[in-house]
Structure 1
Amino acid sequence: MSGESLTIKTPDGSFTAYVARPTAANAPAVVVIQEIFGVNAVMREITDGLAGQGYLAICPDLFWRIEPGIDITDHSEAEWKRAFELFNAFDVDAGLKDIQATIDAARADPGCNGKVGSVGFCLGGLLAYLTATRTDVDAAVAYYGVGIDKHLTETVSHPLLMHVAAEDGFVPKEAQAAIHAVLDANPKVEIHDYPGRDHAFARPGGEHYDAGDARKAGERSLAFFKAKLG
């Protein structure tokens, strides 16, 4: 396993992605979809961890259209301010095109066996949900996605696992209820609620990090990918 940089070309320009490779020469791939802090140490650690579990893991720089190479933390007021500026400037539709380009690049990689999943957190959680509605991803995992309730008219056509923080400050109870009302009956969707947990409970070092539920969500995600991607 080693971290490397990959350049992905699109009709709008090129962007980079952080790549971590497993020891196996041929493996399923997982696209890691960033939070609002860019491809930072937390995202790279998640990418490395997936490679350690046997996946070709790729984390694309989805803020490249605004500013390439964003790498900030949640540890200062200035960084939070910048993160929300990026969140507000982000074009979701363009981001989904970039994710599809990343999925295509993963499938074209000699180290990929053709199966590609996605996992996203926060903003990335919304984007992971949308990969299950708009892309040809084989399976998607969404952690505390923000704004999913605004996209519930879209058809989930690929297997989707969702982790919902019951006390999420960015996902109100009404939004959570709407998600359950629409998606609970969908056989392609599996939703887990985490009572007492706030947004980003799985972000190491974050204000709301909970080691127990982060581990539980991680184990569920890996079991899901094993079942859907092999």
Structure 2
Amino acid sequence: MSETTRISTLDGSKDFMAYVARPEGEPRAAIIVIQEIFGVNAGIRRKCDLLAEGGFLAVAPDLFWRLGEGIELDPDIEPEFKQALDLMGKFDQDGGVKDIEASIKWARSHSGGKNVGAVGYCLGGRLAYMTAARTDSDATVGYYAVGIDELLGEKHAIANPLMLHIPTEDGFVDKDTQKAMHDGLDDHPKVTLHDYEGMDHGFATQFGKRRDDENAELADKRTMDFFAEHLG
């Protein structure tokens, strides 16, 4: 069952929209699904639906709401891809993490106090790393996170398990950045990195030409196993 709801900001002064997918019966845990630069589009909603089928309460907050509510873009349409890049440049990432924190708080209360994790893609992968470092997310996963080398100074704050999926031919994350991620995080007791040889950014997208079925299914299985272990 799916619906949209509204979640209050941490200070309670405003609220924002979120897509919610509920499992049949009581959820085993909750997961915040962190959007790409394309908004809470059909692919992100489908990620939520699949998590709900796995027994999780899945919540995708509209993190671009300060730039315009309900933005949905298609990465396979060039003008919309360019619009998404423009939005990413204007987006307040620190504010976005606070909205993710508010979503975690909402999910805890609406799941009966169950564990709450997070999974993010692209920009959401970077925000997932920030979420692991700055919030009480019980377990966090990032797919093709961008710019993690800039955030390694926060790694000491990662107290709960974090998994990152890294495509080796990511057009937005060069080899030096990938090396910096491994050099900085391979020995972290809470962090697991998985490389995907020959894969490009967006390989695990739910819909569209960027997807690679074999590697997407492998990454998603690792993610589900990770959440089963750390969330319940």
- Cα contact 1:126–1:146 (8 A) shared by 2: yes
Q: Deviations over 1:106-155 (max 9, x none)?
A: 0011x344200000000000001111100000000000001111100102
Q: Does 1:199 align with 2:201?
A: yes
Q: Does 1:167 align with 2:166?
A: no
Contact 1:27 1:113 in 2 (8 A): no
Distance 1:113 1:181 in 2: 36
Q: 1:187: Cα distance to partner?
A: 1.1
Q: What's 1:145 paired with?
A: 145
The aligned amino acid for 2:203 is: F
The CA distance in 1 between the partners of 2:159 and 2:133, in whole Å, is 6
Contact 1:197 1:208 in 2 (8 A): no
1:23-38 correspondence runs (5 A): 23-38=24-39
Q: How far, CA to CA, are the matches of 1:91 and 1:189 in structure 2?
A: 25
In the TM superposition, what are the counterparts of 1:40-79 in structure 2 within 5 Å? 40-79=41-80
Distance in 2 (CA, whole Å) between partners of 1:173 and 1:30 is 30
User: Any gaps of 5 or more consecutive residues in structure 1?
Assistant: none
1:205 and 1:49 mapped to 2: Cα distance? 13
Cα RMSD for the two superposed structures: 1.0
Helix, strand or coil at the partner of 2:106: helix
For the residue of structure 2 that corresponds to 1:175, the secondary structure is helix
Secondary structure of 2:166's partner? strand
Q: Distance in 1 between matches of 2:215 and 2:152?
A: 26
Distance in 1, matches of 2:51 and 2:186, equals: 28
Q: Distance in 2 between matches of 1:18 and 1:208?
A: 23
Q: Secondary structure at the match of 1:217?
A: helix
Amino acid at match of 2:3: E
The TM-score, its normalising length taken from structure 2, stands at 0.96
**How far has the Cα of 1:24 moved from its partner?**
2.4
| Partner SS state of residue 129, structure 1 | helix
- Give how far 1:77 is off: 1.5
Q: Aligned equivalents of 2:3 and 2:144: distance in 1?
A: 28
Aligned to 1:18: 19
**1:223 equivalent in structure 2:** 225
Partners of 1:139 and 1:145 in 2: how far apart? 16
Deviations 1:161-189 (A, max 9, x none): 11000000000100000000010001101
Aligned residue number for residue 7 of structure 1? 6
Paired residue type of 1:108: S
Q: Which residue is 1:178 aligned to?
A: 180
Verify the 8 A CA contact 2:38 2:72 in the aligned structure 1.
yes
Give deviations 1:45-81, integer Å, cap 9, x for gaps. Answer: 0000000000000000000011110011112121011
Bigger mean CA deviation after superposition, 202-211 or 48-57: 202-211
Task: Identify the range of structure 1 (213-222 vs 5-14) with the bigger mean alpha-carbon deviation.
Answer: 5-14
Q: Is the 8 A contact 2:47 2:206 kept in 1?
A: no
Q: Percent identity at matched positions?
A: 50
> TM-score, structure 1 length as denominator?
0.96
* Change in CA separation of 1:120 and 1:112 when aligned onto 2, cut-off 3 Å: farther
Q: In 1, are the aligned partners of 2:43 and 2:207 still within 8 Å (CA)?
A: no
1:112–1:193 distance in 2 versus 1, CA, 3 Å: farther
Equivalent pairs, count:
228
Residues 4 and 205 of structure 1: CA distance in aligned 2, closer, same or farther (over 3 Å):
closer
Task: Tell me the amino acid that sits aligned with residue 210 of structure 2.
Answer: H
**Contact 2:43–2:206, Cα closer than 8 Å, also in 1:** yes
Distance 1:124 1:193 in 2: 18
